[in-house]
Structure 1
Amino acid sequence: MKLKQCVFAVLACLTVSVLADDKPYTVVDGYKVDAKTMEGFRTWRAAACDRCHGANQEGLVGPSLINSLKTLSQDEFVKTVTEGRLPKGMPSFGESQQVKEHINDLYAYLKGRSDGAITRAKVEPAK
């Protein structure tokens, strides 16, 4: 019986480890991020998303992205950013070269913020 419990515990730990690795970002100390997530932060700044969503992604005239990315899939996020939601005031960023090239990096940065793994809006490269 104890052997079965040990095997189960090991399998559970491996499953948690695999699930944790599915994150699109890597964060150390809450604000040091991998190169792609850092590029997502730079894209956030370059596109001036803070004008509507706030400097901390908590919302202004646009919704809180901290909350939105808890339910939006990556595909829904990409569609929203590239096509916009004009009736709701969200412009399309589909023509922005920076956004087109780094849309997945932008998602990674915002998903990290939404998940609470990135604990502050301004991040730094991990070394």
Structure 2
Amino acid sequence: MKISKTLCSLLLAVPAIAAVAQATPSAKPGAAPYTVVDGYKVDANTLQGFKTWRSAACDRCHGANQEGLVGPSLITSLKTLSKDEFVKTVTSGRPNTQMVAFSGNAEVMKNLDNLYAYLKGRSDGAITKARVEAAQ
């Protein structure tokens, strides 16, 4: 039985298609806003959230592992904080605390959803390492 070149190409492409699908966040309502493999390999948006975390120096108050220092543990906080509450807190800060408003930080504002995805993944326990890398 002969297999056509087209069928062979398609069969060879299936693993690559599966890898892309695995590394792409789901758009389903209620689905996690991140995709993670092996505890630290994440989709591109979640990786950008990690980079935003680093560039905004959030670790100075919340710790390198998001477990809290001067500011609270985000691992704990994001278990109960809604996404809307997270956005409000990051955008406006928290009066009478050391949490500053990031509304003037274009990088943070542009990547707010990505930052949330990264921190939510850490809080959910799906992202097991603070430092992540791109899923292949």
| TM-score when normalising by structure 2 | 0.78
Q: 1:48 aligns with which of 35, 52, 57?
A: 57
**What CA deviation, in whole Å up to 9, does each residue of 1:42-81 have, x standing for no partner?**
0000000000000000000000000000000000000000
Counterpart mapping for 1:1-127 below 5 A: 22-127=31-136
Task: Give the gaps of 5 or more residues in structure 2.
Answer: 1-27
C-alpha distance in structure 2 between counterparts of 1:34 and 1:91, whole Å: 28
Gaps of 5+ in 1: 1-18
Q: CA deviation at 1:88?
A: 1.4
TM-score (norm. length: structure 1): 0.83
What is the percentage of aligned positions where both structures have the same residue? 69
For 2:92 and 2:108, the matched residues in 1 are separated by 12
SS at match of 1:77: helix
- Larger-Rg structure: 2
Structure 1 residue ranges, 4+ long, deviating more than 4 angstroms after superposition: none
